Amino acid sequence: MRTKIRNARRLVVKVGSALVTNNGAGLDKTALDDWARQIAALRAQGREVLLVSSGSIAAGIQRLGWNKRPHEISKLQAAAAVGQMGLVEAYEEAFSRHGLQTAQILLTHEDLTDRTRYLNARSTLTTLLELGVVPIINENDTVVTDEIKFGDNDTLGALVANLIEADALIILTDQQGLYTADPRRDTDATLISEGRAEDRQYEAMAGGAGSGISKGGMITKIRAAQRAARSGAHTCIASGREHDPLLRLGAGEAVGTLLYASSTPLQARKQWLADHLQLAGDLIIDDGAIAALRSGRSLLPVGVIAVRGDFVRGAAVACRSAAGEEIARGLVNYSAAECRRIARKPSAEIEKLLGYVDEPELIHRDNMVGR
Ligand SMILES: Nc1ncnc2c1ncn2[C@@H]1O[C@H](COP(=O)(O)OP(=O)(O)O)[C@@H](O)[C@H]1O
Ligand SMILES: N[C@@H](CCC(=O)OP(=O)(O)O)C(=O)O
């Protein structure tokens, strides 16, 4: 089973507040340096890594000299804004020692539920990965209110894993992994080595957060594993305080708890697309495009003969033959008006025709499911 992590090419690593801030004592730069070293080594093995890091609120509270976590949301948001500065600065410094550039990404729930923003976030992240940059992701605490908060970064880690179709989500925390009960409360609790992410028995074992500075606890990690599994990503929960947890997991060592997904990323994505798509329009495609789609390739504007309906970037549309047969469906990268302007044209002309280029494909094969 651990070969699943050894073979993972694209990984999301999530580190929690307790680890990042050494239980609220301020940013633990030694720990940050250590993760940066391990992530640089994983990158050198040809893997792509994104880091979801908590710690802005805890770091801000410490920077502002407050001795306890405030209750007012606006004060927490202010602390997050102050702390985030220090957080990204520390990561930038740590990764630059290994010749790696970093990028700050702040996301809200709405960014990942709105189709257009979803595609924008996805293309920014994949472009950063192509450029060899390590994205450092956190929740955008400045603009969130209760209803649209992820609420914890375990959920954010899983949504990012879904967004960029990661092979694995590694959650580093202050325990060795998932125990049969909260080890802070039950000294007889034993470590679970592995199981199916979807197995409901784990929810009953998991309790809330272990310290005043963390939010989620183990239950949000179990739910994150269930969510990550929906796009075929396997989740590992392991201690960030151990020696080289990321490298050992990458080498296939049985560290922490592995909660594996039962379906492959491709099956999971196709299932998601098949279940979720409410069609907003049609792209009528020529015989060349039909052949391309049937052999699993992306749809390019040059193969589109006509556009029906009125839709926005990110909407679900059907790709049909001139006779009306549905060949595939997927999430379109351009609005209906833009599609009409670039239909029948080579992708190289998109910029000239629209004044900008989002993607060379009208529908990327990763966002498409054949009928
Ligand atoms: N079954 C369990 N196994 C392990 N830890 C658990 C369990 N139930 C609750 N916990 C608690 O979850 C804590 C980790 O979550 P949390 O405090 O939110 O950390 P993080 O900041 O890493 O997200 C542990 O310190 C532990 O006390
Ligand atoms: N955006 C917040 C997230 C807090 C949070 O989720 O904490 P944790 O449960 O430790 O991952 C911060 O950076 O402080």
Specify whether 221 is located in the same domain as 111. Answer: yes
Provide mean pLDDT across the span 46-65.
94
What CATH number does residue 212 fall under?
Answer: 3.40.1160.10
Q: Which atom of ligand 2 is nearest to the CA of 216?
A: 9
What is the predicted pLDDT for the residue at 142? 87
More reliable by pLDDT, 145 or 311: 311
Calculate how far, in angstroms, residue 257's C-alpha sits from the geometric centre of ligand 2: 21
Question: What would the mean pLDDT of 311-316 be, rounded to a whole number?
Answer: 90
pLDDT of 39 higher than 80: yes
Confidence bin at 353 (pLDDT 50/70/90): very high
Whether 86 and 44 share a structural domain:
yes
pLDDT at 23: 81
With a 6 Å cutoff on the Cβ, whether 16 touches ligand 1 is yes
The protein residue with its alpha carbon nearest to ligand 2, atom 6, reads 152
211 against 172, higher pLDDT? 172
Convert the pLDDT of each residue in 118-152 to its tens digit: 888 999 999 999 999 999 999 999 888 766 677 78
Same domain, 213 and 288: no
- In a shared domain, residues 242 and 297: no
Same domain flag for 241 and 291: no
Domain edge (last residue) among 235, 269, 303: 269
Mean pLDDT value across the chain: 91
Of all residues in the chain, the percent with pLDDT exceeding 70 is: 94
Per-residue pLDDT of 68-90, as tens digits, reads 889 998 999 999 999 999 999 99
Distance (Å) from CA 68 to ligand 2 centroid: 16
Boundary-marking domain end, from 225, 252, 269: 269
Q: Ligand 1: does its nearest atom lie under 6 Å from the Cβ of 179?
A: yes
| pLDDT tens-place string over residues 261-281 | 998 776 776 766 766 557 899
> pLDDT band at residue 213, thresholds of 50, 70 and 90?
low
Give 171 Cα–ligand 1 centroid separation in angstroms.
11
Ligand 2 centroid–CA 151 distance in Å is: 8
Do 32 and 102 belong together in one domain? Answer: yes
Rounded average pLDDT over 246-257: 97
Does the CB atom of residue 238 touch ligand 1 within 6 A? no
Q: Is the same domain home to 165 and 249?
A: yes
pLDDT at 165 over 70: yes
Domain count, the chain: 2
Do residues 18 and 117 both lie within one domain? yes
Q: Same structural domain for residues 256 and 340?
A: no
Q: Are both 265 and 231 inside the same structural domain? A: yes
Q: State whether the beta carbon of 211 lies less than 6 angstroms from ligand 1.
A: yes
Number of the ligand closest to the Cα of 139: 2
Domain CATH for 339: 2.30.130.10
What pLDDT is attached to residue 87? 96
SS (H, E, C) the chain: CCHHHHCCCEEEEEECHHHHCCCCCCCCHHHHHHHHHHHHHHHHCCCEEEEEECCHHHHHHHHCCCCCCCCCHHHHHHHHHHHHHHHHHHHHHHHHCCCCCEEEEEECHHHHHCHHHHHHHHHHHHHHHHCCCEEEEEECCCCCCHHHCCCCHHHHHHHHHHHCCCCEEEEEECCCCCECCCCCCCCCCCECCEEECCCCHHHHHCCCCCCCCCCCCHHHHHHHHHHHHCCCCEEEEEECCCCCHHHHHHCCCCCCEEEECCCCHHHHHHHHHHHHCCCCEEEEECHHHHHHHHCCCCECHHHEEEEEECCCCCCEEEEECCCCCEEEEEECCCCHHHHHHHCCCCHHHHHHHHCCCCCCCCECHHHEEEC
Ligand 2 atom 11: the closest Cα is on which residue? 16
Q: Is 24 in the pocket of ligand 2 (CB under 6 A)?
A: no
* pLDDT(361) > 70: yes
Atom 16 in ligand 1: residue holding the nearest Cα: 217
Tens of pLDDT, residue by residue over 279-302, are 899 999 999 999 999 999 999 999
Given this model, what pLDDT does residue 265 score? 73
- To test ligand 2's pocket by mutation, which of 153, 171, 221, 237 has the most ligand atoms within 8 angstroms of CB? 153
**Ligand 2 site, residue 155, Cβ cutoff 6 A:** no
Q: Looking at 246, 269, 292, which one is the last position of a domain? A: 269
Is residue 80 lining ligand 2, measured as CB closer than 6 Å?
yes
pLDDT of residue 296: 93
Residue 321: domain span:
277-370
Do residues 235 and 345 share a domain? no
CB of 175 shorter than 6 A to ligand 1: yes
Q: Which atom of ligand 2 is nearest to the CA of 15?
A: 11
Is there a single domain that holds both residue 241 and residue 293? no
Q: Please indicate whether residue 57, judged by its CB atom, sits closer than 6 Å to ligand 2.
A: yes
Q: Is the pTM of this model over 0.95?
A: no
pLDDT attached to residue 211:
62
